[in-house]
Amino acid sequence: MATIAPNSGSWLHCGYHLTSAIVAPALLSLPFAMAMLGWVGGVMCLTLGGLVTFYSYNLLSLVLEHHAQLGKRQLRFRDMAHDILGPGWGRYFVNPLQLGICYGAVIACILLGGQSLKFIYLLSEPNGSMELYRFVIIFGSLILLLAQMPSFHSLRHINLVSLCLCLVYCTCTTAGAIYIGESKKAPAKDYAVTTTGVNRLFGVFNAISIIATTYGNGIIPEIQSQGSILQNFMVNGKPLVNKWFLLMTNVFTFVQVIAVVLTYLQPTNVVLERKFADPKMDEFSVRNVVPRLIFRSLSIVIATLLAAMLPFFGDIMALFGAFGCIPLDFVLPMVFYNLTFKPSKKSIVFWGNMSIAVVSTVLSLVGAVASVRQIVLDAKTYRLFANM
């Protein structure tokens, strides 16, 4: 929460915010992960990821409740690291990691919003000449206006709409997939994993990183690098479903991405406004409005510029995701619990937590290597302001 925000949110509002942060358009990258893992491996990883993250979030809740009862209410991840691991871990590891991941998500979502706008444009003007960076700037300009909402609590209604749209576009993509599967125009079905050898191995680790980051938060590591949203609903540029269906689904995705950007912008806002705002004055006072306007606008302008310049940012974000999302969601909760409650070293809980933390650390490192490899392979296509 921003330092000048009123602490008036309910548990229901918290649910809206969590949904926008987690159930985001990153869901649309799951088919890509499933294609690399196959049906059996994909379903197993999805199920395991869901169980582990559910468990880790419960551990975080227990740790937060325990420290609150001791009179140390922890509002941020870095506060937990500061109190449990030590000041250095909170300041120099967890805080930069979380800020980098969240701001990277803002850049990635602005790029995704621009891609969604371009897709909508090409549906109506198949031979249109507008390039991607223009759509990114249009989307960034919209975010520039909405980012001036003073606090996290101000986003509660937007995030409620986000929750509804998430359900709608997931329903649309599911219905579209079923329709295409039964259509005579559909290409031949082939569910086999086509890659072999080293490519298949790295593909598996990439897929696991995608699933982990999708469960962990709304970071989008692969959608951008895979081209237009819902591209599997088209063959050779020709839609396999009605254009109005593609248009409607992309509009829902576009609007939902707006809520995701605003949600992931909050940690940056907190850092800036803690330094330049006055929490003792009203959030709409000139003393608070002026620095908010300046620094939030600067933050969005920089993110929009990077998104327009680096349309291959998805590859870079995959690397950040491997280094950031897995440690924050699969490693630190287990470590926090063990250090806070100190379960017996002979107990299943202790060794279960340690096993999850160690395996997740290994997956994080291997996923980072796989991401670097993908960057190297795609480097030949990199060009500033590329029209991807």
| Residue 340 to residue 338: CA distance in whole angstroms | 6
Q: Give the torsion through C-alpha atoms of 249, 251, 257, 259, to 10 deg.
A: -120
CATH numbers and ranges of domains, the chain: 11-381 (1.20.1740)
| Residue 160 to residue 20: CA distance in whole angstroms | 8
Do 263 and 218 form a contact (C-beta atoms < 8 A)?
yes
| Residue 381 to residue 56: CA distance in whole angstroms | 39
Angle at which helices 95-124 and 313-326 cross, to 10° = 140
Q: Is the pTM of this model over 0.85?
A: no
Q: pLDDT tens for residues 226-273? A: 334 455 565 555 666 677 777 887 788 788 888 888 888 888 888 887
Do 141 and 117 form a contact (C-beta atoms < 8 A)?
no
Q: What is the mean pLDDT of the chain?
A: 79
Q: pLDDT tens for residues 172-216? A: 878 887 887 777 776 777 667 777 777 788 878 777 777 777 776
96 pLDDT band (50/70/90 cuts)?
A: confident
Q: pLDDT tens for residues 308-348? A: 887 776 666 667 767 777 888 889 999 999 999 999 998 99
So what's the pLDDT on residue 21?
64
* Beta-ladder partners of 238: 235
